[in-house]
Every structure is written in structure tokens, then in C-alpha cells.
């Protein structure tokens, strides 16, 4: 008879797969119960500190976007929830940095992870991925991490996904998992992009819509060519009302550039959708941080301040996060989400003032003892930090 732990595991999204692993481990003479007092061994198996990955395939996903398939350089890849991301480390021109990328492949596929990277203007890591990365290159990564995923306990069975640009990636994983596993969830995807060439996974999504009755796909083009018969404009209140139908019985998930998710969030509030049923992925920091509400009026973004850390003093640009300044100077900080959520990158602000945009999840204790998240803190004057 299954014990309580196994009953709980079986009710989780990936539960049946985990149980399969337990069965095959037992068949090979290894019982997970033997790890009972070695918490680190179990945790490391499910969530290794670092993943070592090799690129096994690269495909064009749309104009200006490529999909990279990663296989493990050793050991099994940990499970993930559809919607989670990997934080991939890179070494570019002598600078070690990282960027989070949502996993776009389905968690049912256990042999690899895929990420899909879209080019952004003057991108540092995205340009590197699109122009330099080749099959066989190896990367370190941490994760899978993040809380942007379907939760059968709290979320409604009707899901409406609002995606913008590369924000389609976590949805691709969620959609493939839900449809291919025969889940009875009803899914509507409203995907906003400039034009059809920029629509990532367009063909796969059209094919899903033809195959599964419980999935509807709407493409919304902001720069539609003349004669385009589909929907044009932005994902606004009217668009959501018309395409999503009754908003009372669904959970909304938003992912894309911050300007787009801010806009959609407002539209959902106007439609009186409960905040508990709006899930939003923090999809990186905005490049034009100077346009963020609350940005200090006396700063242009081009000021260079002094940042003292230990016995070193480095330069820090006001439009760049403290984390970027530290990475440029070769100083390593723990990092994962780069969005102010996970708190890996905490440092203590000893002196000086920083600008923190919305969405930074500081704990009460952080505020009390002067800790900030270096990935989402921008220098407003000369600073001293310690960590
Ligand atoms: C949870 C999550 C999931 C995401 N998933 C995806 C996804 O699936 N697909 C996708 O395309 N994107 C995704 N993103 C966005 C992604 O992480 C990056 O923000 C995006 O690729 C842009 O990175 P970039 O380096 O090209 O641009 P930026 O991070 O904007 O790079 C430009 C900036 O790099 C910094 N920079 C410039 N030169 C240097 C240097 N020498 N050293 C250090 N820093 C420098 C400067 O601050 C400059 O402003 C996701 C983000 C999050 C948070
Ligand atoms: S890296 Fe997650 S809060 Fe900064």
C-alpha cells in the first residue's frame, strides 16, 4: 500500500512521473527512504545548486528568436513545473552574468529543457545567444525556479493566458503539458506581437488549436499589414472581454514586457477580475528604467556614482542595477530571478540612496536591517554596500 508521502506525491502535477522514478530506483536496489536523514542528498537530487547543460540543438522560432535545447552534461535533469524558468550563466567579453529564461518545452519531456530567446535592441545576453551560441556549447544554470505556474488547488479550471512577444515561452510549456496530458482544463491564449513573423511558436499553436477542442488561440497584431483579416491593436479591455468571454470563471496569467503586462493588468482590473485570479510573471527589468514611475526627476540615467564594496570602489551607472555594476567589475553575487523576487542577490546598504522599482519583494526583516535586492536597486548617489 502506498504510504502517505507517496499519496501526496501522486496528487502533484508531476506526481506520476516522480512515482515512476521511485519505482525504478527501488528496482535498482535504491529506496528513497534510505535518504531520510540526508536531506541535502534529496534536495540536491531535486534541486541541484548548479546544473551543467550542453546545447544539443538550435532552431529558429520566429524572426529574431531561437530555441535552444539543453541536455544534461551528467545526471538527470530535475523536474519542473510548466511556467518555471532557468537562470543561465554566461561569460561575455570577460563579464560573468546570467539571465532567466522560461522553459518553453513541456515538463513531460524529461530528456531536455528548451528555452527560447528573443533579440531585444542592444541586448547583451540575448544578442550573444542569437549570434554566438552554437551546438555543443556548455552552460551553468540554476533553477528550475519560479512560482508562475498552474496550481490546481487555487486556480480556476479555465485559464486565460495573455502573452506579449517572448512572453509566450512559459505558456508554450503550460499549453503543451495540459493538452498533451489530456487535462480537462479549458485554455484561451491571447498573444500580442508586432507582426506575424515575430509570432513565436505560431505554427505549433495553430496546430494545437486544430487538434484540441479545449484550446483557443488568438493572435493580436499591433503592426498588422494592410489587408490582414485577424485582430489588430493591443490586448485591451474590449479585446479581453470579447475573446475571453465570461471573466468570472477563469484565472488570468500575464507574461511579456512590463509595459504590456501593466496595461493588461489595468484592463483586467477595469473588468473587475479579482486580483487573486491575476497571475503575473516578472519578465526582467525594463531597459528604460528612467520611465518607471517614481524615478528621481534629478537623474538622467547617465550619472556615474561610486560604489564601495569591501576594500574596492567601483563605478555604477544610475540606469544600471547594482548587480550589473558588480558583475561588470568581476564581483560575484548569488543570483537567480533578476526580478526582485527570489532575494538571492540581497546585499546590505551601508550608506547612500537607491531607486527601487515596483515589484521588489523585500521581507520586513530586510527593510528593518537595511537589505536590498541588488538586481532591482539603482544608485541615486554614491553608495556603500556589504554582503
Ligand atoms: C522569469 C523570467 C523569464 C524570462 N524568460 C524569457 C524568455 O523565455 N525569452 C526571452 O527572450 N527573455 C526572457 N526573459 C528576459 C531575459 O531574462 C532577458 O532580460 C532578456 O533576454 C534581455 O537580456 P539582455 O542581456 O539581452 O538585455 P538587457 O538585460 O536589457 O541587457 C542590456 C543591459 O545589459 C547590461 N549590460 C550591457 N553591457 C554589459 C556588460 N558588459 N556587463 C554586464 N551587463 C551589461 C546593461 O545594463 C544594459 O542595459 C525572462 C526574464 C525573466 C525574469
Ligand atoms: S536575483 Fe532574485 S531578487 Fe535579485
Best probe residue, ligand 1, of 283, 287, 319 (max atoms within 8 Å of C-beta): 283
Share of the chain above pLDDT 70, in %: 91
Cβ pair 326, 333 in contact under 8 A: yes
Closest atom of ligand 2 relative to the 336 alpha carbon: 1
The ligand minimizing its distance to the Cα of 124 is: 1
Other beta carbons within 10 Å of 33? 10
The CA distance from 161 to 188, in Å, is: 6
158-280, what's its fold?
Answer: Rossmann fold (3.40.50)
Nearest CA residue ID for atom 34, ligand 1: 124
Q: Is the CB of 85 under 6 A from ligand 1?
A: yes
Closest atom of ligand 1 relative to the 146 alpha carbon: 1
Question: Among 66, 48, 65, which Cα is nearest to 57's?
Answer: 66
Q: What is the dihedral of CA 365, 368, 372, 373, to 10 degrees?
A: 20
Rg of the chain, C-alpha, whole Å:
22
DSSP, res 76: P
- Least confident span in 38-52, 131-145, 209-223, 308-322: 38-52
Q: What digits encode the pLDDT tens for the residues 236-265?
A: 999 999 999 888 889 999 999 988 999 999
Quote the pLDDT of residue 38: 62
CATH of 298-386, one of 3.20.20.70, 3.10.180.10, 3.10.20.30, 3.10.20.90: 3.10.20.30
Best probe residue, ligand 1, of 93, 96, 284 (max atoms within 8 Å of C-beta): 284
Other beta carbons within 10 Å of 186? 18
Nearest CA residue ID for atom 38, ligand 1: 124
**Domain boundaries, given as residue ranges, for the chain:** 4-46, 51-145, 158-280, 298-386
Q: Give me 110's grid cell.
A: 524529461
Q: Is the CB of 126 under 6 A from ligand 1?
A: yes
Closest atom of ligand 1 relative to the 117 alpha carbon: 11
Quote the pLDDT of residue 24: 64
51-145, what's its fold?
Answer: Elongation Factor Tu (Ef-tu); domain 3 (2.40.30)
Question: Among 64, 51, 154, 179, which Cα is nearest to 189's?
Answer: 179
Cβ pair 143, 334 in contact under 8 A: no
Nearest CA residue ID for atom 47, ligand 1: 320
Q: What digits encode the pLDDT tens for the residues 151-191?
A: 888 888 899 999 999 999 999 999 999 999 888 899 999 99
Average pLDDT over residues 102-130: 94
CA of 361 to the centre of ligand 2 (A): 9
CA of 379 to the centre of ligand 1 (A): 19
Question: Among 30, 308, 66, which Cα is nearest to 200's?
Answer: 66
Share of the chain above pLDDT 90, in %: 70
Task: Say which residue, 352 or 30, is predicted with more confidence.
Answer: 352
Report residue 51's pLDDT band, with 50, 70 and 90 as the boundaries.
Answer: very high
**Are β-strands 51-62 and 65-72 bridged in parallel, bridged antiparallel, or unpaired?**
antiparallel
The CA distance from 254 to 280, in Å, is: 5
Task: Determine the 3-state secondary structure of 110 from DSSP.
Answer: coil
Q: Is the model's pLDDT at 218 over the cut of 90?
A: yes
Q: Is the CB of 145 under 6 A from ligand 1?
A: no
Closest atom of ligand 2 relative to the 87 alpha carbon: 1
Residues with CB under 6 A from ligand 2: 335-338, 340-345, 373, 375
The ligand minimizing its distance to the Cα of 321 is: 1
Nearest CA residue ID for atom 20, ligand 1: 126
CA angle centred on 42, ends 40 and 47, rounded to 5°:
85
CA of 52 to the centre of ligand 1 (A): 21
Amino acid at each position: 500500500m502506498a504510504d502517505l508521502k507517496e499519496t501526496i506525491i501522486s496528487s502533484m502535477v508531476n506526481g506520476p512521473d516522480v512515482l515512476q522514478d521511485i519505482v525504478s530506483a527501488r528496482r535498482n536496489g535504491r529506496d528513497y527512504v534510505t535518504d531520510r536523514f540526508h536531506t541535502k542528498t534529496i534536495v540536491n537530487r531535486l534541486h541541484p545548486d548548479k546544473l551543467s547543460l550542453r546545447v544539443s540543438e538550435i532552431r529558429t522560432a520566429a524572426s529574431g528568436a531561437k530555441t535552444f535545447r539543453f541536455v544534461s552534461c551528467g545526471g538527470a535533469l530535475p523536474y519542473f513545473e510548466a511556467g518555471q524558468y532557468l537562470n543561465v550563466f554566461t561569460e561575455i567579453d570577460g563579464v560573468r552574468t546570467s539571465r532567466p529564461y522560461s522553459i518553453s518545452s513541456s515538463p513531460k519531456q524529461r530528456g531536455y529543457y528548451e528555452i527560447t530567446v528573443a533579440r531585444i535592441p542592444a541586448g547583451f545576453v540575448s544578442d550573444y545567444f542569437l549570434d554566438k551560441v552554437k551546438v555543443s556549447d556548455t552552460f551553468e544554470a540554476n533553477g528550475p525556479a519560479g512560482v508562475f505556474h498552474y496550481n490546481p488547488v487555487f486556480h480556476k479550471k479555465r485559464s486565460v493566458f495573455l502573452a506579449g512577444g517572448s512572453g509566450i515561452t512559459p505558456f508554450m510549456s503550460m499549453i503543451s503539458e495540459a493538452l498533451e496530458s489530456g487535462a480537462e482544463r479549458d485554455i484561451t491564449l491571447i498573444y500580442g506581437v508586432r507582426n506575424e513573423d515575430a509570432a513565436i511558436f505560431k505554427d505549433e499553436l495553430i496546430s494545437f488549436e486544430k487538434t484540441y477542442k479545449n484550446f483557443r488561440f488568438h493572435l493580436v497584431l499591433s503592426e498588422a499589414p494592410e489587408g490582414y483579416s485577424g485582430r489588430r491593436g493591443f490586448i485591451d479591455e474590449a479585446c479581453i472581454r470579447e475573446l475571453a468571454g465570461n471573466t468570472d470563471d477563469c484565472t488570468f496569467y500575464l507574461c511579456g514586457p512590463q509595459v504590456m503586462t501593466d496595461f493588461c493588468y489595468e484592463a483586467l482590473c477595469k473588468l473587475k477580475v479579482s486580483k487573486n485570479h491575476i497571475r503575473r510573471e516578472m519578465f526582467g527589468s525594463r531597459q528604460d528604467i528612467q520611465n518607471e514611475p517614481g524615478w528621481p526627476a534629478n537623474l538622467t540615467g547617465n550619472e556615474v556614482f561610486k560604489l564601495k564594496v569591501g576594500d574596492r570602489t567601483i563605478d555604477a551607472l544610475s540606469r544600471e542595477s547594482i548587480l550589473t555594476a558588480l558583475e561588470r567589475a568581476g564581483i560575484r553575487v548569488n543570483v537567480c530571478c533578476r526580478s526582485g523576487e527570489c532575494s538571492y542577490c540581497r546585499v546590505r546598504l551601508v550608506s547612500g540612496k537607491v531607486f527601487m522599482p515596483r515589484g521588489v519583494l523585500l521581507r520586513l526583516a530586510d527593510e528593518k536591517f537595511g537589505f536590498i535586492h541588488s538586481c532591482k536597486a539603482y544608485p541615486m548617489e554614491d553608495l556603500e554596500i556589504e554582503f
